[in-house]
Structure 1
Amino acid sequence: MTTNAPRPEVLRYTAFSSDPGGGNPAGVVLDAAGLGDGDMLGIAAELGYSETAFLTAGPKERAYGIRYFSPKAEVPFCGHATIATAVALAERIGPGELVFATRAGTVPVEVEVESAEGEEDRAVRATLTSVEPHVAEIADGDVAEALAALGWPAGDLDPAFAPRVAFAGARHLVLAAATRARLADLAYDFARLEALMHRLDLTTLQLVWRESATVFHVRDPFPVGGVVEDPATGAAAAAFGAYARELGLVPPDAVLTLHQGEDLGRPGELTVTLRAGDPRVRVSGTGARIG
């Protein structure tokens, strides 16, 4: 539903980079009271970023309701827009703990200012804690269809990484490339992949290549959001952390570094932290306002 509410201020922040030219841009509306679904979708479409976050006041101080819209649809959870929103709030109310009530569940966020020699060099870092994740198998036929849409031969997959659907607030299909060159060569059938993703209720594909034991490069096609590729994807990073732990690819206690956006000219870095005994996944990164 669209309303006649006054147009709110729309802020622009990048997440997973302290450089406004890196990471993933997000729109941030700190006061979305009175906006209908049509208003929010219209703002997100006009802005054109992969997601825009819309906040409403919560039941207590530093607690908020939050919704996320891509240019085409609402998504239940968006990691990079959460990080961007937390950085925007920290600049106004100071660092510390925040709580976001998302459609996927409650997501706590901790914001801190990293120490540096000069005031101008200090970066704001936010760490979100995901909802409880889970990992599910996927039918061979669906994997074959995804590969056909990508134009990837099955032999180009890394056999150590079984295809799975991973969830940590949104559903992502994890596929691992055997080489960095395979990951870099991404030119897919937009309509075909979009149709498959709608059928499987996927938000993105999490395409990964393992550089070392704890360092990965990732890319995320996002046709269901009307975006060819997401430059940095916090929700998928959380899902991938759960996937890597579930399949025994990393220890129960681990800190993973995910590089994303390099192939788009918007490099970003996502830190994924796993803790033994806690199923939830922590994803952290810096953010910066886009002038």
Structure 2
Amino acid sequence: MAAYRYVIADVFTDTPLTGNQLAVFTDGRGLDDATMQALALEIGFSETTFVLPPEQGGTARMRIFNPRHEMPFAGHPTLGTAFVLGAPLQLGVIALETGVGIVPVTLERDESGRIVFGRMTQPVPRVEPVEAPEVVLAAVGAERSLLPIELYDNGARHIVVTLEAAELGGLRPDGETIATFGITGVNCVAGAGSSWRSRMFWEHGEDPATGSAAGPIACHLARHGLVGWGEEIVITQGVEMGRPSALHARAEGGEGLIDAVEVGGNAVVVARGEFRV
């Protein structure tokens, strides 16, 4: 029976017991696919990561599992894993090999050397129209979107719906209908200028901090003229769940084309443990 150590971090927050929970197995060597999936189910967080030796020139390879299946890319697991690895490795950039390629995370430190912020360069998303926007609105309990409803795919799939701020608290998502959209999150956003709020729904509930959606949200707002290209926005999420989070995002581009996407935030380690399997 082998022992596998893990770290639990709360991501997109600097306050323990808020943000989005993540378990990071810092050395996944010796674990097969089935055991990784079983551990992700046992822990029960939205995602769990397993760190492995690099294969493509990155700092490390990372595999991401939710309780049901492996994911090619996700935002808070990428940022959280970089925070966990960055402390012992003492590197300024952690380049994580994911299912959609290498995602670099630049880490910022204070005078004591403690990591205080991380910025990941995300894959540029593909944009697709949503064929039945009225079905999406009905699925979250909204009447209309201020901007066109579109789907963004950066390795994770996210629909973006833009609402008035007063509508966010009253949304009543229908998980059965959302499940018919496939492995897709529905992100309802509201705000102005650099300050935005978001709620993300998927078939099994709500997410407190969705890093893979923050980049597409910045892209969506820039493409439709509500923020400037290159302007950093702060997205508050998880408030209704009692796990507030803050995600910083910006998109570079112009004339409807996306050139680069960056998402940043903080993370805090809250627990360490060991599984014997």
- The TM-score, its normalising length taken from structure 1, stands at 0.85
Structure 2: distance between partners of 1:289 and 1:282: 23
1:32 pairs, out of 15, 23, 28, with: 28
Deviation string, structure 1 residues 30-84 (Cα, Å, up to 9, x no partner): 1112222221111111111111111111148861111111112222211111111
Structure 1: distance between partners of 2:10 and 2:65: 16
After TM superposition, give the deviation of residue 146 of structure 1 in Å: 2.0
CA contact (8 A) 2:107 2:115 kept: no
Are 2:54 and 1:55 aligned? no
After TM superposition, give the deviation of residue 7 of structure 1 in Å: 4.7
CA contact (8 A) 2:118 2:265 kept: yes
CA-based RMSD of the aligned residues comes to: 2.1
Opposite residue 89 of structure 1, the aligned amino acid is: L
Q: Which residue of 2 aligns with 1:144?
A: 134
Are 2:84 and 1:88 aligned? yes
Q: Which residue of 1 aligns with 2:160?
A: 174
1:249 pairs, out of 206, 222, 226, with: 226
Q: Which residue of 2 aligns with 1:234?
A: 211
Deviation string, structure 1 residues 130-156 (Cα, Å, up to 9, x no partner): 1122222111x2x222222222223xx
Opposite residue 92 of structure 1, the aligned amino acid is: P
Q: Which residue of 1 aligns with 2:181?
A: 197
Are 2:189 and 1:208 aligned? yes
CA contact (8 A) 1:124 1:288 kept: no
Q: What count of residue pairs does the alignment treat as equivalent?
A: 268
Q: Which residue of 2 aligns with 1:279?
A: 259
Structure 2: distance between partners of 1:18 and 1:123: 11
Opposite residue 196 of structure 2, the aligned amino acid is: F
Opposite residue 168 of structure 2, the aligned amino acid is: L
Percent identity for Structure 1 against Structure 2: 29
Opposite residue 133 of structure 1, the aligned amino acid is: P
Q: Could you tell me which runs of 5 or more consecutive residues in structure 1 were left unpaired when the two chains were aligned.
A: none
Name the CA shift for 1:10/1:187 in 2 (closer, same or farther; >3 Å).
farther
Opposite residue 197 of structure 1, the aligned amino acid is: F
CA contact (8 A) 2:87 2:115 kept: no
Opposite residue 191 of structure 1, the aligned amino acid is: E
Q: Which residue of 1 aligns with 2:5?
A: 9
After TM superposition, give the deviation of residue 271 of structure 1 in Å: 0.7
Name the CA shift for 1:60/1:191 in 2 (closer, same or farther; >3 Å).
closer
Q: Could you tell me which runs of 5 or more consecutive residues in structure 2 were left unpaired when the two chains were aligned.
A: 272-277
Structure 1: distance between partners of 2:170 and 2:100: 33
Structure 2: distance between partners of 1:205 and 1:92: 36
After TM superposition, give the deviation of residue 265 of structure 1 in Å: 1.1
SS in 1 for 2:201: strand
Structure 2: distance between partners of 1:148 and 1:77: 28
Q: Which residue of 2 aligns with 1:131?
A: 123
Q: Which residue of 1 aligns with 2:69?
A: 73
CA contact (8 A) 2:55 2:61 kept: no
Opposite residue 262 of structure 1, the aligned amino acid is: V
- Larger displacement relative to structure 2 (276-285 or 257-266): 276-285
Structure 2: distance between partners of 1:43 and 1:284: 27
After TM superposition, give the deviation of residue 283 of structure 1 in Å: 0.5
Structure 1: distance between partners of 2:110 and 2:190: 29
CA contact (8 A) 1:104 1:170 kept: no
After TM superposition, give the deviation of residue 276 of structure 1 in Å: 4.7
CA contact (8 A) 1:86 1:98 kept: yes
